[in-house]
A and B are shown apart, each in its own frame.
Chain A
Amino acid sequence: MIRYALTRLALLVVGLVVASVLIFLALRVLPGDIATLIAGTNSTHAQIAAIRAQLGLDEPLFGQFADWIGGVARGDLGTSLRTGSTVASEIADKAQVTVPLGILALTVAIVFSVPLGVLSAMRRSRPDGTALSVGAQALAAVPVVWAGMMLVVVFAVWLGWLPAQGFPRTGWQTPWLALRALILPAITIGIVEGAMLMRFVRSATLQAVGQDYVRTAAAKGLTRNQALVRHGLPSVGLSIITVLGLQIAGIIVGAVIIEQLFSLPGIGRMLVSDVAARDLPKVQGELLVLTSFVLVVGFVVDLVHRLIDPRQREA
C-alpha cells in the first residue's frame, strides 16, 4: 500500500510539472497582450512599449517561466498585471463563492441521483423505471445555460423567491443572503451533473445485479432487490467515488458558465475576464490551482479506492 501511495504521489508531482509547462506555453500562443489593452485605441506605439517594459513583458520567455515557477515553488503565485493585487488573495476571495457553489452543486447531484439511479435500476422493467431513465437521459442533454434560465424565470422572475443574479456585497457576513444567491446556480449545475451521475448509478447497479455474489445471496433466500441492497450497493458506492472525482472537473466547467449567467463573482468568471484581458500571470496561477485541485482529488480518490476495495488491496 505504501509503495503504491508513493508511486501514485510521484505521478501526481510529474503531472503538476507537466501541467505548469503546458499552461505557461499554451497561454503564450494567444495573440494580443495586456499592454495594448491598458493603453487603449488612442495610444502610440511608444506608449505601448513603455507599458510593456514596465510590466516586464519584454523579458525572454524562459526568464518569465523561471520567475513564475520559482515563485510557485516558494508558495508565491505572483501578482496580477491588471489589478496589482496578489493572485493568491484574489483566488482566495473568489473561492468564497466558487467552493460553496461546487459543494452545493455536488450535494444536489448526489442527493437526487443516487436514490433515483438505484430505483430506476431496480424497477428497470416497469414503466416508472423506464420513465426515470429516459428523464435522466433528457436532463443530461440539457445545456446548463438553458436550465439556469428556466429556473431563473420560474423562481426569481415569476415567484420572486430567490435572487436572479449577483452575490451580496457583504459576502458570508450575511450567510442567509449568500446562501440564497447560490441556490439557483447550484441547482442548475447539480441537475445537469446529477442526471449524468444518475445514469452511471443505474448502470453500476445493473451490473451489480449480475454479479455472482448477488446471485448467491439471492439463491440463499433473499429477494433479488434485498440481495442487491445488502450486497450489491457497497460495490456501487465504490465506483461512484471514482466517478465523483471526474464529476468535480465537470462542476468546475459548469461553474465557469453558470457564474457568467448569474453574475457571480467567482473563480470561473474571474478566469474568463482575465483571459480576455491577457492578464497571463494571473490566468497561470488560476489554472494551476484548478489543475492541481483536480489532480489532487484524483490522487485521493485512487488512494481511498485502494484502501476500501479488498480486491485491489491484495493485488
Chain B
Amino acid sequence: MPRRAPVLAAAALLAAAALALTGCTGGASAPSTSSAAADPNATVNVRLVLEPGNLDIRQTAGAALDQILIDNVYQGLVSRTPEQKIVPALASDWSVSTDGLTYTFTLRQGVTFDDGQQLTPEDVVWSLQTRKDTAAWSDSARLANVSSIAAEGQKITLTLSQPDSSLLWNLTGRAGIILKKDDTVDYKTKANGTGPFILTSWKQGDSITFQRNDSYWGTKAKAKEIVWDYIPDNQAALNGALAGELDVVTGFDATLKQQIEANGDFSLKLGSATDKFVLAMNQKSGPLADKRVRQAIRQAIDHDAIVKAVGSGVPLYGPIPKTDPGYEDLSKVAPYNPEAAKKLLTDAGEKDLTLTLTMPSFYGTTIPQLLVSDLNKVGVTLKVNSVDFSTWLQDVYTNKDYQLSLVDHAEARDFENWADPTYYFTYDNAKVQDLFKKSLAATSDAQASDLLTQAARIVSEDMAADWLYNWNSVVAVGTDVSGMPTDNVNARIDAAELAKSKG
C-alpha cells in the first residue's frame, strides 16, 4: 500500500503546524496567502461535508448551520475569532460590572438587515428575550441566568441573577443571534441577517450561495460570491478539486495529501479544532462500573498510533482540548501500558471480557480496528456495532443503552456535560459538579479557568472516559486563494476575508 508515505508526511507537517499555531493570536487565523491581487468579482467554491437539513437557525441544531450562517449572515452583539477570542460584532464595545451581574453593550448605528430594514435596539431585546423564553429554540437554556434585558438609546443592558462566566461566550453563538423582531421571513428556506453576506440561493442536496452584501455596515467582503458545495464523498471532493471545480476543500482526508498537492494547485493547511473523539464508557452497571476496568482500557490504547493512522490530530488525555480554558496536559494520568492494563483487569477479576462499542458508521473503520487490536492485546474482545447517527442518538444518547461509544464532540467549551449526571456519559461526581458551578459563577476568567482545570483533572483521574484524540481540521486551499480560516472550520467559517486572485 502506498499509504505509508503520506501518513508520515502529514504527521511531520502536523508537528510543524502545531508549533506555528502556538505563536498565533488574534485577527484572522494563519491565513493562506496569495501574493496576486484579489479579484473583487470572484466566486469562491468551498467544499463542505455536512449539509444542513433546513436553514432555521432558531431551532435546528447542528454545526452545519453555525458553520456558514453565523458571522457571515447572522450576527450577535459579540463574535469570536477562529482562535476563540471574543470580539465586537453588532456591539461596538461592552463592559461588565465588577460583581459580574450587569453587562452593558453599545449597539452600532446604521446597521441594516438584508431586506433593508434598520436594526433597532428593540430587535436586540426581542431576539434575546424570545430566545430565553422559547424552550424549543436551541441554546435557550444558555440565557437562564439573564434576569432582564433592556435598551436605553443604543445601550443594551443584560442583568443577571447570578454571575455567569460563560455568558459572553454563549452570546457569540446561537443564543446571541439578533433577528428582526417578528420577522416574517420563512426561516426554513431563507435568511434575513445583518452580516457581510446575503444568502441568495439554496439548492437542496447541492449548494448554498452567498452574495456580498454591498450595504454591509462594516468592511465589505472580498469575494463577490461564495458557493458552499455540499459533497459528502471524499473521492468526489478530491476529483472536483483536481478538475478545478473547487477552490477550497474542508474536511479533507489527510492521508490523500499527496494526491491533492500533486499538480501544485492546492496546499494542505492544518488548523486547531475543538473536536474531541470521546470513547464514552457506561459506568452505571456491568464491568465498566469498576474504575480498574476503565483504567485498563485507557492504558491499553496506543493514542499515538491512532493519531498517526488518522493523519491529523494530537493526543488528548482529558476532557478539555488545548484551545479551551482549563486545559492541562493529563498524559500522565493513564499512560499507554498494556502490562499495567492486564494487571488491572486481573485485579478486577475480569477474565475473557467482551465489550461492545456502539458508534456512528461515518467515522469509518480505522479507529475501531485499532481499538479492537489494542484491547485484544490485553485480553479484551471488542465487538464493533456500527450504526447510523439517528440510531446512535436513540440507543446511546437518549436511552444510554451501550457499553462503549465513540463520538466526536465538536463543540468548544462543552465541559458542562461532565457535570451533568443525566448526560449519556453516565458520569456522576458531586465534586466535579460543584467545581463547574463555581467556575460559572467566577467573576474573573483566570479563576473560572483554574476551577475548570481542577474539575477536568478529577474527571480524567476517575477514568470517566477515554479521549482518543483531539482532531485537527484539514483544509486544502487553492494556491490562488487567500483569507481562508483554517482553525475550527468545523464550527465556523468567517468568509469575509476569503478571496481569489485573477488568472
The yes or no answer to A228 lying at the interface (CB within 8 A) is no
Determine the chain B residues whose CB is within 8 A of the CB of A200 once the complex forms.
Answer: none
Q: How far is the CA of A282 from the CA of B205 in the complex (A)?
A: 14
A42-B61, A43-B61, A165-B239 known; A36+B188 contact, CB < 8 A:
no
Determine the chain A residues whose CB is within 8 A of the CB of B60 once the complex forms.
Answer: 38
Q: How far is the CA of A149 from the CA of B259 in the complex (A)?
A: 15
B205 touches A164 (CB 8 A): no
B61 touches A32 (CB 8 A): no
Q: Kindly identify which residue among B135, B188, B227, B390 contacts A276, using a CB–CB cutoff of 8 Å.
A: B390
The yes or no answer to A156 lying at the interface (CB within 8 A) is yes
Nearest chain B residue, comparing its CB with the CB of A167: B206
Q: Select the stretch in B82-90, B367-375, B391-399 that faces chain A.
A: B391-399
Determine the chain B residues whose CB is within 8 A of the CB of A39 once the complex forms.
Answer: 61, 138
Q: How far is the CA of A279 from the CA of B392 in the complex (A)?
A: 16
Q: How far is the CA of A13 from the CA of B409 in the complex (A)?
A: 49
B188 touches A261 (CB 8 A): no
The yes or no answer to B201 lying at the interface (CB within 8 A) is yes
A42 touches B394 (CB 8 A): no
A156 touches B205 (CB 8 A): no
Contact with A along B229-251 (1 / 0, CB 8 A): 11111011101101111000000
B233 touches A261 (CB 8 A): yes
A36-B394, A42-B61, A277-B53 known; A94+B135 contact, CB < 8 A:
no
Nearest chain A residue, comparing its CB with the CB of B59: A38
Determine the chain B residues whose CB is within 8 A of the CB of A202 once the complex forms.
Answer: none
The yes or no answer to A265 lying at the interface (CB within 8 A) is yes
With an 8 Å Cβ cutoff, the count of chain B residues facing the other chain is 53
A22: shortest Cβ distance to chain B, in Å?
Answer: 21
Q: How far is the CA of A149 from the CA of B234 in the complex (A)?
A: 12
A278 touches B414 (CB 8 A): no
B243 touches A36 (CB 8 A): no
Determine the chain A residues whose CB is within 8 A of the CB of B236 once the complex forms.
Answer: 164-165, 260-263
Q: Kindly identify which residue among A38, A50, A163, A273 contacts B243, using a CB–CB cutoff of 8 Å.
A: A163
Nearest chain A residue, comparing its CB with the CB of B389: A276
A182: shortest Cβ distance to chain B, in Å?
Answer: 14
Q: Select the stretch in A80-88, A118-126, A247-255 that faces chain B.
A: A80-88
Determine the chain A residues whose CB is within 8 A of the CB of B231 once the complex forms.
Answer: 165-166, 263
A83-B54, A263-B233 known; A169+B203 contact, CB < 8 A:
yes
With an 8 Å Cβ cutoff, the count of chain A residues facing the other chain is 53
Q: How far is the CA of A82 from the CA of B62 in the complex (A)?
A: 13
Determine the chain B residues whose CB is within 8 A of the CB of A83 once the complex forms.
Answer: 53-54, 188-189, 204
The yes or no answer to B376 lying at the interface (CB within 8 A) is no
Which residues 351-404 in B have Cβ within 8 Å of A in the complex? 387-395, 397-398
Which residues 157-205 in B have Cβ within 8 Å of A in the complex? 186, 188-189, 201, 203-205
B189 touches A85 (CB 8 A): yes
B369: shortest Cβ distance to chain A, in Å?
Answer: 22
Q: Kindly identify which residue among A50, A82, A156, A167 contacts B136, using a CB–CB cutoff of 8 Å.
A: A50
Given contacts A44-B141, A160-B244, list 20 more A-B pairs with CB under 8 A: A30-B391, A31-B391, A31-B394, A36-B398, A40-B61, A40-B138, A50-B136, A82-B54, A94-B205, A157-B243, A164-B239, A166-B229, A260-B233, A263-B206, A263-B229, A263-B232, A263-B240, A270-B205, A276-B388, A277-B390
Interface residues of chain B, those whose CB is within 8 Å of chain A, are 51, 53-54, 59-62, 135-136, 138-139, 141, 186, 188-189, 201, 203-207, 209, 227, 229-233, 235-237, 239-240, 242-245, 387-395, 397-398, 407, 409, 411, 414, 417
A-B contact pairs, 14 of them (CB 8 A): A30-B390, A31-B391, A32-B393, A37-B393, A38-B61, A39-B138, A54-B136, A90-B204, A165-B240, A169-B207, A260-B233, A261-B236, A263-B232, A270-B205
